[in-house]
Each structure stands twice: as C-alpha cells, then as structure tokens.
C-alpha cells in the first residue's frame, strides 16, 4: 500500500468552469517524479525543445507513486535512486496537436545511489547537476521551488 497516496486510478476527472459557465470535467493524468540529489546538486534534464526540468512521468497500472518515480528517474537519467519523503505536488496543462493535456505530478526527494548520469536520448539532449545558485536554469518556477526544498533537506 502506498503510504503517501493510494492510486487506484491513473486518470481522474477534475471539475472546471467551461467558456459558457458550465462545469466540465478535465481528464488528469497522474504522474510521479523525483527531485534527485547527486553530489549535493539537483539532477536536471534538457528537453529537445530547450525546456529544463526534473525527471517525471506517468504511473503504470499496478505501480505506486514511489515505484513510478524510481522507474522514471532510471529511464530518463540512467541513475538508480533511493526514494525519500514526498516533497509536494504540481499540476499543469499543455496543448499538443490540438489536444489539451492536464497532469498532476507527485514529487519525491531522492538520492542517487548508482548508475551513470545520461539523458534518455528520445526526449532529452543534456543533463546537468544544479547547485542552489543555479536553480534558475530550471524552466518552471514550481520546479525551482521543489529543487530548493530538496537541496535544503540534503544540506541540513
């Protein structure tokens, strides 16, 4: 059983106000990610479109959030990581090929314990280890806040 949140769904519906004032339900994909600390720095990835972020992805059927976070870190960075405490949640949406996607990510503090840092070639072009002063490299403010929180935990 998942200590943080029991995920009995991979997608859920979220009520939103439509353009005409009606309530519509948005399909939300549940994801998990890791704020991975290696050598007292945060692991980051550069997408092919130039966006800098941290490893995350969908939860497979039968996986816990923690299992998904560990798997995604491995797939996207080549690192084995030990999972720690939950750090928080982010939610975002984007349009791709005319379709709106809504995602909710559950983030975990993680420490690299093995493997070789390398970007997953299909999606990413580069990896970088970021110190506290370099977190502005991350594209999204919510990612910067989570990374700062993880570094504070790591350095205390």
Average pLDDT, the chain: 88
pLDDT score, position 94 = 81
> Alpha helix locations (H) across the chain?
65-77, 141-155
CATH number of the domain enclosing 62: 3.90.79.10
Task: Give per-residue pLDDT as tens, 28-54.
Answer: 899 999 999 999 999 999 999 999 999
Q: Which residues contact 66 (CB under 8 A, 6 or more apart)?
A: 2, 4, 32, 83, 108
Cα 73 to chain centroid, rounded: 9
Give the integer Cα–Cα distance in Å for 45 and 147. Answer: 13
> pTM, whole model, 2 decimals?
0.83
Check whether 22 has a pLDDT greater than 80: no
Domain that holds residue 32: 11-155
Q: What is the mean pLDDT of residues 12-37?
A: 74
Backbone CA torsion sign across 121, 141, 105, 44? positive
Q: Give residue 7's pLDDT.
A: 42
Strands 56-58 and 23-38: antiparallel
74 part of a folded domain: yes
Helix (H) or strand (E) holding 112: strand 99-115
Query: Is the separation of the CB atoms in 129 and 112 below 8 Å?
Result: no
- What CA–CA distance (Å, rounded) separates 73 from 92? 20
Residue 4 lies in a domain: no
> What is the mean pLDDT of the segment spanning 108-130?
97
Q: pLDDT at residue 21 above 70?
A: no
Quick one: tokens of 120?
């997953």
pLDDT at residue 134 is higher than 80: yes
Q: Is residue 1 part of a domain?
A: no
Assess if residue 5 is contained within a domain: no
Q: Which of 10-19, 91-100, 126-135 has the lowest mean pLDDT?
A: 10-19
Strand pairing category for 23-38 and 99-115: parallel
Establish if 129 belongs to a structural domain.
yes
- Is 146 within the bounds of a domain? yes
- pLDDT above 70 for 15: no
- Count of domains forming the chain: 1
| C-alpha to C-alpha distance for 42 and 110, rounded to whole angstroms | 10
Q: Is residue 2 part of a domain?
A: no
Banded pLDDT at 16 (limits 50, 70, 90): low
């Amino acid at each position: 059983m998942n200590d943080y949140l029991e995920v009995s769904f991979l997608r859920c519906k979220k009520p939103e106000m439509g353009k005409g004032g009606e309530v519509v339900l948005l399909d939300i994909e549940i994801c998990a990610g890791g704020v991975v600390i290696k050598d007292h720095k945060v692991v980051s990835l550069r997408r092919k479109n130039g966006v800098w972020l941290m490893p995350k992805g969908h939860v497979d059927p039968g996986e816990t959030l923690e299992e998904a976070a560990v798997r995604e870190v491995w797939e996207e960075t080549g690192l084995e990581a030990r999972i720690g405490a939950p750090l928080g949640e982010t939610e975002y949406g984007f349009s791709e090929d005319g379709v709106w996607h809504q995602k909710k990510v559950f983030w975990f503090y993680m420490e690299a314990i093995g493997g070789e840092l390398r970007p997953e070639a299909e999606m990413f072009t580069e990896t970088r280890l970021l110190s506290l002063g370099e977190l502005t490299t991350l594209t999204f403010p919510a990612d910067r806040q989570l990374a700062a929180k993880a570094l504070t935990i790591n350095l205390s």
